Amino acid sequence: MAAILDSTQAQRKANAPRATSLVMFPWLIKGSVPPHDVPQSLQTLTEPVAFDKPAAKQLPVTYIPFIDNAQTGAVREKSDPSWLNAKARGWPIYTLVSDHNAQRSHPYKLIDLMEKAVQASVK
């Protein structure tokens, strides 16, 4: 990660165009078939996300943390900054027991959970 952040700083110093700057992680496999990892915008590593503008506060938001198990979820619910922010903002929270890449390891469970979240938000 340090190498990625060092390259990030170097790119910023070079005034690289931010809209087109992509981070090519070493685990990306060129020409792989979906679902697969893709390059990430440099801004995902350098720019904070804020929901403090009035228009942003009107967006329907659901927080879905992927957890190892119920015990991990109970700990994270009380200590994870993202989880605490979601709770403080009154966002619906649905958990999924999964690794970081639920779209690959548990695609149908993730689809079911996302459909449940959407249905709950339109009622």
Domain boundaries, the chain: 1-47, 51-123
Q: CA of 61: how far to CAs of 3, 67, 73, 90, 111, in Å? A: 33, 19, 20, 9, 16
Q: What is the percent of the chain with per-residue pLDDT over 70, rounded to a whole number?
A: 83
Collapse the DSSP code of 63 into the 3-class scheme (helix H, G, I; strand E, B; otherwise coil) and give the result: strand
Task: Specify the pLDDT at position 13.
Answer: 54
pLDDT digits (tens, 9 = 90+) for 13-47: 554 444 569 999 998 998 888 878 889 999 988 98
Average model confidence (pLDDT) for the chain?
84
Please state, in angstroms and rounded to a whole number, the distance separating the CA atoms of residues 45 and 39.
12
Mean pLDDT of 73-91: 94
Does the pTM surpass 0.85? The reply is no
88 vs 12: CA distance, rounded Å:
34
Residue 43 CA to residue 70 CA, distance in Å, equals: 33
What percentage of the chain has pLDDT greater than the value 90?
50
